[in-house]
Structure 1
């Protein structure tokens, strides 16, 4: 297993079904960076607590709302136009890279919070995934189960 959250997230996201599950949960309102961090924390054996989740959400929420979501909204908004405008398509690709870099920064910020948390004391990543998914996980149970299954296999 990789030790940093970015490498872990890339490996997990590349697993069959994970991208689709994450996007389904995202469409229901979940923060994918928070979800991937939760899977990583579970993999490290870090014990879940509501207080720890609140610490992560306090960092993830504003970054998601103020940085990642506006980039994603603009990129998605240009999807149709970019199919007929080569220059706009190029800008859209730049936005996609910028959005990915913003997600990498979000994961790094979340990792920084968890650096001092004791590893190897918990064996179930489910509390992390369910906490990080929130209402989206209850709405999209199959997607959350798909993510849990892939994460349980180790990334």
Structure 2
């Protein structure tokens, strides 16, 4: 993820987007997110949203997490996942196109995938703004990561034992540590 100049009137440049960029840039976070995506079916955008909400003192309930997933599921399935699969297929090569030429297009697909994820985060931030719930006491990044992983294991119909996989445990611990180290912010007016 890379940062663009901030425009406060642009929903694509929301506080959630800036939080996601800052957290994703921390050591081990990208690999932890990708491990949870690969081994537990986690939507990284929903995970980052849940961590953002917890950071803002408004941790999401399991029902809110599931509703957030449902809200972005169509976009993920129809846009993000096809772009991701195309990008991954291109990485392995597509005959007869030389890999050097294919890589030029692959980078464009990668950028489109990132922009599609940015749209997801914009949708989720609009959801966050619409929630009238007052801030809860404190944030709980530790339990937030585990709740998101549990949700996606259930949605993916993967056995709960996946939560105990070493790759999943290591990813959870890394995210808990890094998200817990993020500055805690309380929203000022509409966030």
When normalised by structure 1's length, the TM-score is 0.88
Q: CA deviation at 1:102?
A: 0.2
User: Does the CA-based 8 Å contact 1:47-1:121 persist in structure 2?
Assistant: yes
Over aligned residue pairs, what C-alpha RMSD do you find? 2.1
- C-alpha change, 1:75 and 1:23, in structure 2 (3 Å) is same
2:10 equivalent in structure 1? none
Matched, 1:50 2:70: no
The correspondence for 1:142, drawn from 170, 173, 187, is: 170
How many residues were matched structurally?
Answer: 153
- C-alpha change, 1:68 and 1:151, in structure 2 (3 Å) is same
1:121 equivalent in structure 2? 136
Q: Which has the higher contact order (CA 8 A, sep 6+)?
A: 1
CA offsets per residue over residues 95-143 of structure 1, 9 Å max, x none?
0000000000001111111113335313213343222222287241221
Structure with greater helix percent: 1
User: Does the CA-based 8 Å contact 1:45-1:125 persist in structure 2?
Assistant: no
2:53 equivalent in structure 1? 41
Runs of 4+ with >6 A deviation? none
Structure 1 runs not aligned, ≥5 long: none
Q: How does 1:75-90 map to 2 (within 5 A)?
A: 75-81=87-93, 84-90=98-104
Inter-partner Cα distance in structure 2 for 1:101 and 1:74: 15
When normalised by structure 2's length, the TM-score is 0.73
Matched, 1:130 2:127: no
User: Does the CA-based 8 Å contact 1:18-1:147 persist in structure 2?
Assistant: yes
- Structure showing greater Rg: 2
Inter-partner Cα distance in structure 2 for 1:68 and 1:41: 23
1:104 equivalent in structure 2? 118
1:154 equivalent in structure 2? 182
Q: CA deviation at 1:51?
A: 2.1
User: Does the CA-based 8 Å contact 1:41-1:128 persist in structure 2?
Assistant: no
Matched, 1:25 2:36: yes
User: Does the CA-based 8 Å contact 1:5-1:40 persist in structure 2?
Assistant: yes
Structure 2 runs not aligned, ≥5 long: 1-13, 184-191
